[in-house]
Amino acid sequence: MQLYLAGVPVGEELHAPGLWPPSRRAAKRAGSEHMPGWRLAPALLILRALRAGRVVFFLACSAFFCSTWAVRHLVSTCMTRNLLQSDLDLVRRLISDERADVEIVAVLRQRGIDALKAQRVVGELRSGRSVSAEVLSTEQPISTGAAQADLGGGARGPIDEGQSGQRRSHRRASSAARWVTLTALLCLVVLGIAGLLYQQRYHAESRNLLDELARAPQQPGPLRTRIAERKLDASESERLRTLSAPQPLARDTGSSGTGRLVLDLQADGLHAGGILMTPQNALQVVAQLLGPPTRTNHLEQTSQLLHTFDNHGLLIYSGDGGEDESILLDFEGSGGKHGARSPFTGALRAAGNLIQGDTDESTLSGMNVLGLSVTGGAGGTLQGRYGSLELSFAYYKSARHLSVVVIKLK
């Protein structure tokens, strides 16, 4: 059996059910390229929010256009003023300079004159007719009003015309202001109702999605990617597919309430959670205790598959026929293709002795039940046997900290 650690090249990555994305080439050959679960959750929330917010977006656009129209109407109605004598003098001067009507109307518009009124004034002055200026102030002397009344129904003077025009302008401005107010209130009411509906729907869908993700470790769903059948034989493919099927296995880690995974070396073999692990069920037992593997790599130039549980620092090597050949405990979290991204925080128990990451080489050598022999000198590898299990302990960086434990299953 050939074991691979960091630094050894790996073949294609077949991304079994888990959290880490495959390479593009491997995903393409596997027949599916998808987004991993922990990255899929925010994407689903965003998509559902967009889908739920389409009504809100439509209502917001409608309210925006309505308010824009109302404001433009208010501006066009209220922001115009009466025609002054200075405006008439300017128009006559521009006409004498042979300016175009469009330019003259634009100048009057900039001075606050209504467009229709500006066009009428320019047309009348070009035709030679006289145009009178409008009076801005409504406060006129009483004698002037009395003199107008004494004319006995004669023609109305420019003062009356200016006052009546200003009254009409005030009425239009008041009406436009009322419409703008009503439109703004209606928009606020519509947006408030839409916001409440959107918030309720969004939070409900978010809670449902998070509940589904929270239940995933206890009830693994179907595999999210298709397995490349040409890379796996029928038995291994079937075994990987059944990882997501719930099994009546105990979830007790055998750690006496510590919440850590403890593997027990016993006379009949390796136990986890009170279950005997064999080459036929090791991957299934670990998947039921820790959840599905995050990665599955096909090792180059071999027929082995490497199942990696990145969050728990545990790796399982599988050989031909779908049997699990060995279990590797990565106490350093070496990462890469042949290591876990997080260190193994559990322990290995043999005859009442706990073997953990901080178990130094001298302490381990003193455990006579393991029958250890040192290979490679100090700080190297220790080989041993417990019952029918072959054991390998490696101290790569320091003799005070255990790096890797390999257990060959029988």
pLDDT band for 234, please (50, 70, 90 cuts): low
pLDDT in tens, 238-250: 555 554 444 443 3
Distance, in Å, from the CA atom of 79 to the CA atom of 73, rounded to the nearest integer, reads 10
More confident of the two residues 72 and 49: 72
pLDDT in tens, 268-315: 899 998 899 998 899 999 998 988 999 998 888 778 889 999 999 999
In 3D space, the residue among 388, 403, 311 whose CA is nearest the CA of residue 356 turns out to be 403
pLDDT in tens, 118-165: 888 888 888 888 887 764 443 344 344 433 444 344 444 444 444 455
- Longest pairwise C-alpha distance within the chain: 133
Helix 37-52 × helix 54-78 angle, to 10°: 40
Whether the CB-CB separation of 298 and 14 falls below 8 Å is answered with yes
Distance, in Å, from the CA atom of 308 to the CA atom of 315, rounded to the nearest integer, reads 5
Q: What is the pTM of this model?
A: 0.41
Q: How many Å is the Cα radius of gyration of the chain? A: 43
Is residue 192 pLDDT above 60, yes or no? Answer: yes
The sign of the CA dihedral 238, 239, 243, 247 is: positive
Amino acid code (one letter) for 46? I
3-state DSSP call for residue 180? helix
Distance, in Å, from the CA atom of 211 to the CA atom of 362, rounded to the nearest integer, reads 48
More confident of the two residues 81 and 167: 81
Q: What does DSSP assign to residue 25?
A: H
Number of C-beta neighbours around residue 176 at 10 A: 18
